[in-house]
Structure 1
Amino acid sequence: MSIPNMLSIFRLILIPVFTIVFFSPIEHAMLYSSIVFVISGVTDLLDGYIARKYNQVTKLGIVLDPLADKLTLLVVLFCLFKKELIPSWILIFFVAKELSMILGGIFAYTRSDLVIPSNIFGKLATIFFYFSIFVLLFDKTIGIYLVYATVISAVIALFSYIKIFWNNKHSFKK
Structure 2
Amino acid sequence: MNLPNLLTLFRFTLIPVYLGLFFSDLSDRMAWAFGVLLLAGLTDVVDGYLARRHSQVTQLGVMLDPLADKLMMLAVFLSLLISQKISLTAAAAIFIRDLGMIIASAFFHFRGKLTVPANIMGKLTTILYYIALFLLMFGHSFGEEFLWGVILFSFATSFIYLFQFKLLNQRLM
Same fold flag (TM > 0.5): yes
Instruction: Give the structure 2 partner of residue 96 of structure 1.
Output: 96
Q: Residue 37 of structure 1 aligns to which amino acid in structure 2?
A: L
Instruction: Give the structure 2 partner of residue 122 of structure 1.
Output: 122
Query: Is contact 1:108–1:165 with CA below 8 Å preserved after alignment?
Result: no
Correspondence list, 1:137-148, <5 A: 137-148=137-148
Correspondence list, 1:139-158, <5 A: 139-158=139-158
Query: Is contact 2:113–2:169 with CA below 8 Å preserved after alignment?
Result: no
Deviations 1:48-76 (A, max 9, x none): 11111221111121111101011011000
CA distance in 2, matches of 1:168, 1:61: 18
Query: Is contact 1:34–1:134 with CA below 8 Å preserved after alignment?
Result: yes
CA distance in 1, matches of 2:159, 2:46: 26
Q: For residue 112 of structure 1, report the CA deviation from its aligned partner.
A: 4.3
1:165/1:58 CA distance change after superposition, 3 Å: closer
Q: For residue 148 of structure 1, report the CA deviation from its aligned partner.
A: 1.7
Q: Residue 156 of structure 2 aligns to which amino acid in structure 1?
A: I
Query: Is contact 1:112–1:172 with CA below 8 Å preserved after alignment?
Result: no
Gaps of 5+ in 2: none
Q: Residue 137 of structure 1 aligns to which amino acid in structure 2?
A: M
Q: For residue 170 of structure 1, report the CA deviation from its aligned partner.
A: 4.2
Calculate percent identity across the aligned residue pairs. Answer: 36
1:53/1:32 CA distance change after superposition, 3 Å: same
TM-score, structure 2 as length reference: 0.89
CA distance in 2, matches of 1:14, 1:107: 25
Q: For residue 3 of structure 1, report the CA deviation from its aligned partner.
A: 1.6
How many residue pairs match? The answer is 173
Instruction: Give the structure 1 partner of residue 106 of structure 2.
Output: 106
Please identify, of 87-96 and 12-21, the stretch whose mean Cα deviation from structure 2 is larger.
Answer: 87-96
